[in-house]
């Protein structure tokens, strides 16, 4: 427990020191590095929880060990889940009612092997890894999450997509008896849908997450299965997926349908393209202390090296 | 009598401080959730808007209750609006952005909702600095004209609230209704006054049927006495 507390102090302090080159912070970061390397290794801290379901997972290709994960308690208590409530606190509580066992996923569209699959059967075929990724919300806050999951591309390939499959559409669970906003048809058209271009979906950065911090995913964070596409705004990373469709034409995702001028199909993190009503130039990192400046948002959330080539011929202002 | 009134005034003064003290308690005990900076910022914004609405309720109450003794409270509530709005902005500049001016600049330029908040704050600021009696005297009739801009501040604050949300508009809608009612009341009084103005060639009796003017006039008398 004491070890964990130490880690929490670190989390707020080694917040990407290269961005803000204040002397004070660099000293703190150096100090933090010293402490973490001599006393506790990050791995040990992550596995410190005895109840961990998955220990010592290998790291995904683009998992970044240099990032300090945001404390789990903060991640668990700061979620948007509009099916339950428009308020983060209430949605966390109400999400506990979600029924996730058993869970199956329907796979249809332009593929050779359509069908419905139980999640546990899917998991048996996949290699779980840990992915420490940045997560940037369109509301201008961000965190670093140690997801447990598997490559989305690897899964999609098992369904044998046809050459006519240009887009992949994901659909969230529809449980109106449990989800108050679905019952009232409030805000968005339910169930929630999101979509990726096939090359985005096949990209090695894209994962399906089933856990975080070595444990199964909390319900409010998208249990039992959610998408994680770290170079896009958080709303693309759809939760509680029940359906995957391979399509010829681009489907319209939920937020684009509700406000097409504000939320585009791509939703790539881009500090140069403000949302019509607020800037996307900077972000508040959860876990950073009072009087800590915001983090400068990076193009593609810092994953430009991996993903920029997919958008090389596109005007990112137009395709926002 | 004067003592009792003063007691009431000081208790209202302290009651208005409760939201601030409550916020301090929540900061100290870390009750503000995963994003405490935003929570502080939003809480202070909410209280600025609430005090702005409360300030705007005084005049209608005076007119309806035909009781003219509340202008001192109106002033106090107005100053509290300024107090909470200033803390709201200071939280943004100091606690959230920590004086990184180029980021603040980009944020303001690219976020239209901030423009409306800023407009509201500039107005509230001007009203606050013209609070002293000396300023009131020096400005004469212009003082009243300037202080009518509080209506614009209220509209700006509500737009500021609406425009920053993704879609859950219930909360700002509540304030929109309140502000609309408060402004509609003034509009109706104004229309009524105009009608009487047209109907009656100005006489001294006019004051009897014009509640707002009546109050203004009596306030002026009180001030002269003071």
Same domain, A222 and A202: yes
Nearest CA of chain A to the CA of B49: how many Å?
20
Same domain, A104 and A226: yes
In percent, how much of chain A has pLDDT > 70? 84
Residue at A301 is within a domain: no
Instruction: Kindly state the average pLDDT of the residues A200-204.
Output: 98
Same domain, A252 and A206: yes
Same domain, A89 and A202: yes
Nearest of A209, A299, A269, A255 to residue A80 by alpha carbon: A255
Task: Give the residue from chain A lying closest to B91, CA to CA.
Answer: A291
Nearest CA of chain B to the CA of A86: how many Å?
6
Number of domains in chain A: 2
Chain B residues within an 8 Å CB radius of A136: none
Q: How confident is the model at residue B69 (pLDDT cuts 50, 70, 90)?
A: confident
Nearest of B53, B197, B120, B84 to residue B61 by alpha carbon: B53
Range in A17-26, A136-145, A287-296, B98-107 the model is least confident about = A17-26
Helix (H) or strand (E) holding B10: helix B2-28
Q: Residue B12's domain spans which residues?
A: 2-183
Chain A residues within an 8 Å CB radius of B114: 278
Chain B residues within an 8 Å CB radius of A73: 34
Number of CB atoms found within 10 A of residue B6's CB: 10
- Best of B24, B93, B110, B168 to mutate (most A CBs within 10 Å, chain A): B110
B198 touches chain A (CB under 8 A): no
Same domain, A4 and A43: yes
Instruction: Kindly state the average pLDDT of the residues A258-276.
Output: 96
Whether residue B85 contacts residue B194, with contact meaning beta carbons closer than 8 Å, is answered with no
Residue at B103 is within a domain: yes
Query: pLDDT higher for A8 or A213?
Result: A213
Residue entry with tokens 């306030």: B219
Residue at A12 is within a domain: yes
C-alpha distance from residue B66 to each of B5, B165, B195 (Å): 18, 40, 21
Same domain, A38 and A102: no
Six-digit token pair at B46? 């909410």
For chain B, what is the mean pLDDT?
89
CA A219 to CA A97: how far, in whole Å? 9
Residue at A140 is within a domain: yes
Same domain, A16 and A137: no
Chain B residues within an 8 Å CB radius of A86: 167-168, 170
The pLDDT, as a whole number, for residue B71 is 86
Residue at B226 is within a domain: no
CA B16 to CA A185: how far, in whole Å? 39
The pLDDT, as a whole number, for residue B157 is 98
Residue at A224 is within a domain: yes
The pLDDT, as a whole number, for residue B154 is 98
The pLDDT, as a whole number, for residue B217 is 55
| pLDDT tens digits for range A158-196 | 999 999 999 999 999 999 999 999 999 999 999 999 999
**Facing residue for A277 by CB, picked from B34, B97, B164:** B164
Residue entry with tokens 């500039």: B122
Q: Is the pLDDT of residue A255 over 90?
A: yes
Nearest CA of chain B to the CA of A115: how many Å?
36
Whether residue A143 contacts residue A75, with contact meaning beta carbons closer than 8 Å, is answered with yes
| pLDDT tens digits for range B151-193 | 999 999 999 999 999 878 889 999 999 999 999 999 999 999 8
Residue at B204 is within a domain: no
Nearest CA of chain A to the CA of B89: how many Å?
14
| pLDDT tens digits for range B101-139 | 999 999 999 999 999 999 999 999 999 999 999 999 999
Instruction: Kindly state the average pLDDT of the residues A100-111.
Output: 96
Residue at A200 is within a domain: yes
| pLDDT tens digits for range A44-93 | 344 444 568 998 899 999 999 999 999 999 999 999 999 999 999 999 99
Q: Is the pLDDT of residue B21 over 80?
A: yes
Number of domains in chain B: 1
Question: CA torsion, points A121, A254, B169, A140, in degrees to nearest 10?
Answer: 80
In percent, how much of chain B has pLDDT > 70? 85
CATH number at residue A63: 3.90.420.10
Please judge whether A277 and B167 are an interchain contact, meaning their C-beta atoms are less than 8 angstroms apart. no
Whether residue A214 contacts residue A53, with contact meaning beta carbons closer than 8 Å, is answered with yes
| pLDDT tens digits for range B35-63 | 999 999 999 999 999 999 999 999 999 99
Instruction: Kindly state the average pLDDT of the residues A10-33.
Output: 46
**ipTM, interface predicted TM-score of the complex:** 0.82
Residue at A78 is within a domain: yes
Q: Which of A240, A261, A282 is the last residue of a domain?
A: A261
Chain A residues within an 8 Å CB radius of B170: 86
Q: Which of A261, A282, A315 is the last residue of a domain?
A: A261
Q: How confident is the model at residue A7 (pLDDT cuts 50, 70, 90)?
A: very low
The pLDDT, as a whole number, for residue A156 is 98
Q: How confident is the model at residue B224 (pLDDT cuts 50, 70, 90)?
A: low
Range in A211-215, B184-188, B211-215 the model is least confident about = B211-215
Same domain, A19 and A120: no
C-alpha distance from residue B14 to each of A220, A259, B42, B93 (Å): 40, 44, 22, 27
Q: Residue A37's domain spans which residues?
A: 1-48
The pLDDT, as a whole number, for residue A183 is 96
Residue at A282 is within a domain: no
Instruction: Kindly state the average pLDDT of the residues A118-133.
Output: 97
Query: pTM of the prediction?
Result: 0.83
Instruction: Kindly state the average pLDDT of the residues A1-23.
Output: 46
Residue at A280 is within a domain: no
For chain A, what is the mean pLDDT?
88
Q: Provide the chain B residues 29-68 that lie in CB contact (below 8 A) with chain A.
A: 33-38
Same domain, A22 and A135: no
Please judge whether A274 and B110 are an interchain contact, meaning their C-beta atoms are less than 8 angstroms apart. yes
Instruction: Kindly state the average pLDDT of the residues B86-104.
Output: 97
Residue at B135 is within a domain: yes
Chain A residues within an 8 Å CB radius of B167: 86, 187-188, 258-259
- Best of A181, A190, A290, A298 to mutate (most B CBs within 10 Å, chain B): A290
The pLDDT, as a whole number, for residue A2 is 45
Task: Give the residue from chain A lying closest to B114, CA to CA.
Answer: A278
Same domain, A29 and A166: no
Instruction: Kindly state the average pLDDT of the residues B15-31.
Output: 97
Same domain, A141 and A249: yes
**Facing residue for A74 by CB, picked from B34, B109, B170:** B34
Same domain, A72 and A181: yes
Residue at B125 is within a domain: yes
């Amino acid at each position: 427990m004491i070890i964990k507390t130490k880690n929490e102090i670190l989390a707020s302090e080694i917040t990407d020191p290269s961005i803000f080159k204040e002397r004070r912070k660099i000293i703190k970061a150096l100090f933090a590095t010293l402490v973490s390397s001599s006393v506790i290794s990050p791995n040990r801290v992550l596995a410190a929880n005895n109840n961990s379901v998955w220990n010592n997972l290998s790291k995904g290709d683009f998992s970044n060990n240099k990032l300090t994960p945001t404390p789990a308690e903060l991640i668990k208590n700061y979620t948007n889940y509009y099916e339950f409530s428009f308020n983060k606190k209430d949605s966390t509580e109400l999400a506990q009612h979600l029924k996730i066992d058993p869970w199956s996923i329907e796979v249809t569209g332009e593929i050779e092997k359509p069908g419905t699959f139980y999640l546990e059967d899917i998991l048996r075929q996949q290699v779980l890894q840990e992915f420490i990724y940045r997560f940037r919300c369109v509301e201008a806050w961000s965190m670093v999450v140690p997801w447990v999951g598997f490559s989305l591309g690897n899964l999609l390939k098992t369904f044998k997509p046809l050459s006519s499959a240009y887009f992949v559409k994901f659909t969230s669970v529809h449980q109106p008896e449990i989800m108050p906003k679905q019952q009232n048809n409030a805000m968005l058209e339910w169930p929630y849908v999101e979509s990726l271009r096939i090359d985005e979906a096949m990209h090695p950065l894209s994962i399906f997450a089933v856990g975080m911090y070595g444990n199964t995913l909390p319900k409010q964070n998208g249990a039992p299965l959610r998408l994680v596409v770290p170079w896009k705004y958080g709303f693309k990373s759809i939760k509680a997926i029940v359906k995957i469709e391979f399509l010829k034409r681009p489907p319209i995702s939920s937020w684009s349908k509700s406000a097409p001028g504000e939320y585009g199909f791509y939703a790539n993190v881009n500090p140069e393209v403000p949302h019509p009503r607020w800037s996307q130039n900077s972000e508040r990192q959860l876990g950073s202390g009072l009087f800590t400046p915001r983090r400068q948002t990076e193009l593609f959330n810092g994953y430009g090296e991996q993903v920029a080539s997919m958008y090389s011929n596109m005007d990112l202002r137009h395709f926002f | 009598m004067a003592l009792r009134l003063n007691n009431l005034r000081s208790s209202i003064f302290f009651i208005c401080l409760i939201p601030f003290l409550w916020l301090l308690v929540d900061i100290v005990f870390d009750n503000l959730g995963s994003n405490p900076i935003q929570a502080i910022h939003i809480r202070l914004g909410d209280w600025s808007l609430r005090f702005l609405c409360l300030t705007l309720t005084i005049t209608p109450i005076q007119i309806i209750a035909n009781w003219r003794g509340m202008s001192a409270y109106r002033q106090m509530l107005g100053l509290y609006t300024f107090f909470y709005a200033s803390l709201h902005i200071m939280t943004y500049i100091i606690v959230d952005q920590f004086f990184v001016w180029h980021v603040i600049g980009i944020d303001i330029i690219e976020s239209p909702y901030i423009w409306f908040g800023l407009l509201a704050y500039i107005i509230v600021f001007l009203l606050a600095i013209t609070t002293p009696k000396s300023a009131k005297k020096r400005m004469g009739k212009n003082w009243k004209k300037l202080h009518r801009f509080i209506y614009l501040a209220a509209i700006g604050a509500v737009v500021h609230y609406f425009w920053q949300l993704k879609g859950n508009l219930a909360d700002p809608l509540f304030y929109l209704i309140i502000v609309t009612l408060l402004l509609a009341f003034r509009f109706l009084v104004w229309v009524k006054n105009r009608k009487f103005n047209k109907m009656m060639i100005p006489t001294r009796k006019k004051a009897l049927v014009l509640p707002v003017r009546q109050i203004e006039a009596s306030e002026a008398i009180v001030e002269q006495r003071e």
